[in-house]
Amino acid sequence: MMAFYVFAAIAVVASLLVIAQRNPIYSVLLLIASFGALSGLYVLLDAPFVAVIQIIVYAGAIMVLFLFVVMLLNAPHEDTDYDERVHPLLRPGPMRLGAVLAAALAVELWWALTRTGDSGRFPAGAVASVRAIGRSLFTDYAFPFEVTSILILVAMVGAVLLARREGRG
Amino acid sequence: MVPLNYYLVLSAMLFAIGTAGVFVRRNLITILLSVEIMLNAVNLTFVAFGRALGSGDGQIIVFFVMTVAAAEAAVGLAIVIGLFRHRESLNPDSWTVLKW
Amino acid sequence: MTPLLVAQIVLTLFVFFMLLNSAAVMVYVERKVAAFLQQRLGPYLVGPRGMLQPLADVVKLMFKEELRPRAADPLLFALAPIISATAAFAAFAVVPFGADTTLFGLLKEPLRLQVADVNVAILVIFAIASMGVYGIVLAGWSSNSKYSLLGGLRSSAQMISYELSYGTAIASVLLVANSMSLSDIVNRQAGAWFGVIPRWFFFLQPVGFLIFMTAGIAETNRAPFDFPEAEQELVAGYHTEYSSMSFAMFFLAEYINMVTVSAVATDLFLGGWHGPLLPESFGWIWFLLKVAALLFFYVWMRWTLPRYRYDQLMAFGWKVLLPLSVVNLLVTAAGVLYFGV
């Protein structure tokens, strides 16, 4: 119980800070913290494989890619003069429409959180093991699996091609 | 064990935060990070429902979502690098005119 | 507070303490072995045969002035060595180092000599190794200096490139062992064929072992793959601007990563704590001997082989080691299908 609240709090706070930070490097690091908390939530949901894959793929690979790009571009702040003085979340656009939407969201959340009623308890003992997932991945879902590998190949080739400097004949 | 609704509400909150980030921030990289937050919120929903229905399909779909997210992040960042080379700026408002 | 719980807490503290000690011992061993390989004496002044040299080193490092460049980002500068050291220690939490023991009859149920027994232990080690990259990247970036940034980026690019071969070599062992829990994998290596050749996975996967050790050396940034922290090339790479205890943390993290890679290699390929003469409850002695042999191999490699240049290093990782590890995986899969494990 406590573990859920701790992980959920970390995930939400870290995500809020991600969109509130000016410096992209801090945003990336906070997002890694959020992913760590989500990984903990997956462990609570009896999905250890997904939890570890989340750390390996998201926190360990995708975020390293983001970090590399941020360091390579070396553009730590949003760059017009106006942006330097006012915090991103306090500019006119977000303040007007955003405040309305945030209020609507808060009302909806309060409504959702107070209606716990028949809330769907998790059935005990019906857990898919890693072995079962692997088997199903290679039998029922074999076609999407192979297509995914081609997708990654296409993405790799595309990323290398798009990021090349022009004039390399 | 926490009821399923709690996980769904958490996922909705994370998704809303991600969406807010995409709309509000004027920095390409932060926008991509907010998209990743949204994808993670969806992953959490899938795993929670997979557990509630006692099937492994939730985790398998998460596997595919993660792979697609990785591919999309790679290509998105390559595009950002290419754009940055031309305009030296990460502000999406720099590209409102369709000419170099 | 059952006796088992107390024993587990003591075990956790014991593992932490022993890892710290192992780093200190490794400092001494490295300098002595390097010296003997180069036909000189090494440290011999402090204590008998120089054995108190690590103590002198630690005291010196503690008393050095802690510097921080003015342009460095203070939060990240302080965070980077913490991440490195934490990842190094955390990876050892799922490595089993001995058979279940009842501590000579003191406990009623056997205590597993592993801090956390997880069914996906191998993936956890891999995940924590991925997190260790951040310590180096952040150290390079936050120091705000040319040498550090270059060293940090190169070092982390090297680590993530060799992680692929590392993982594929592990996957080949998983195919043969049919389980992801390290304790299960070690227990499958008990016994011997024809009573003589031990049932280690090293004999079933020799290429896998070589790939694992090579990728492990590259992952821990040790020679011959230590271009990013080579003194002649980049001053000291990503830890140029660090001094005193922060430097000690990076140093510590590097040695403990070496110990972890050796321990995991022992569990996966060399039969863990199983050995001929001693009874099961003293298996940890065999474990120590095997890990010590692998650590000697590490030090030997460092002081024997010339350093790879960075582009040669990356070409080797992507164009030689990765295809080799994939072919190894395919051949292993074919073997498992044909012979049936």
Q: For residues C83 and C244, what is the distance between their CA atoms, to the nearest angstrom?
A: 17
Query: A82-140, pLDDT tens digit by residue?
Result: 455 667 666 776 667 777 777 788 788 778 777 766 666 777 666 777 888 888 888 99
Query: C4-51, pLDDT tens digit by residue?
Result: 788 888 888 988 999 999 998 898 898 889 998 888 888 888 888 778
Within 13 Å and on the Cβ side, how many CA atoms surround C144? Answer: 11
Name the one residue in this structure whose structure tokens are 């998704």.
B15
Average pLDDT rounded to a whole number, residues C198-206: 85
Average pLDDT rounded to a whole number, residues A64-90: 69
Q: For residues C217 and C165, what is the distance between their CA atoms, to the nearest angstrom?
A: 12
Chain C residues touching residue A53 (CB < 8 angstroms): 123
pLDDT of residue B16 exceeding 70: yes
* C182, C126 contact by CB (below 8 A): no
* C281, C99 contact by CB (below 8 A): yes
Whether cis (ω within 30° of 0) applies to the bond prior to C224 is: yes
Name the one residue in this structure whose structure tokens are 């070496």.
C258
Which residues, at least 6 apart from C235, have a Cβ–Cβ distance to it below 8 Å? Answer: C147
pLDDT at B5: 83
Q: For residues B18 and A107, what is the distance between their CA atoms, to the nearest angstrom?
A: 18
Q: SS3 breakdown of chain B: % helix, strand, coil, rounded to 5?
A: 80, 0, 20
- Of C247, C244, C229, residue with least CA distance to C313: C229
Judging contact as 3 or more Cβ pairs under 8 Å, the answer for C and B is no
pLDDT of residue A81 exceeding 50: no
Q: Which helix (H) or strand (E) holds A46?
A: none
- The tokens describing A15, both together, are 């995500």
What is the least distance, in Å, from the CA of A157 to any CA of chain B? 9
Helix (H, G, I), strand (E, B) or coil at C192: strand
Percentage of residues in chain C having pLDDT higher than 70: 91
What b-and-e string marks burial along B13-36, b requiring 16 or more CB atoms within 10 Å of the CB?
Answer: bbbbbbbbbbebbbbbbbbbbbbb
Q: Which of C123, C133, C149 sits opposite A52 (nearest CB)?
A: C123
Average pLDDT rounded to a whole number, residues B37-46: 95
Q: Which of C123, C127, C137 sits opposite A67 (nearest CB)?
A: C137
Place B87 in a pLDDT band, splitting at 50, 70 and 90: confident
pLDDT at A80: 46
CB contact under 8 A, C123 and A49: yes
* C115, C189 contact by CB (below 8 A): no
- Of C256, C257, C264, residue with least CA distance to C94: C264
What is the least distance, in Å, from the CA of B94 to any CA of chain A? 10
How many C-beta atoms surround the C-beta of residue C270 within 10 A?
A: 25
pLDDT of residue C191 exceeding 80: no
Burial-class residue C25 by CB neighbours within 10 Å (0-12, 13-18, 19+): middle
Q: For residues C315 and C154, what is the distance between their CA atoms, to the nearest angstrom?
A: 13
Average pLDDT rounded to a whole number, residues C175-204: 82
- The tokens describing A74, both together, are 């070396």
- The tokens describing C155, both together, are 């070092």
Percentage of residues in chain A having pLDDT higher than 70: 81
Round the average pLDDT of chain C to a whole number and report it.
Answer: 84
What is the least distance, in Å, from the CA of A106 to any CA of chain B? 10
Average pLDDT rounded to a whole number, residues C231-237: 55
- In single-letter form, the type of residue at position A122 comes to F
Beta-bridge partner residues of C197: C193
A64 close to C (CB below 8 A): yes
Q: For residues C133 and C219, what is the distance between their CA atoms, to the nearest angstrom?
A: 9
Average pLDDT rounded to a whole number, residues C97-112: 69
pLDDT at A86: 67
Burial-class residue C244 by CB neighbours within 10 Å (0-12, 13-18, 19+): middle
Place C231 in a pLDDT band, splitting at 50, 70 and 90: low
- In single-letter form, the type of residue at position A41 comes to L
Q: For residues C260 and C86, what is the distance between their CA atoms, to the nearest angstrom?
A: 13
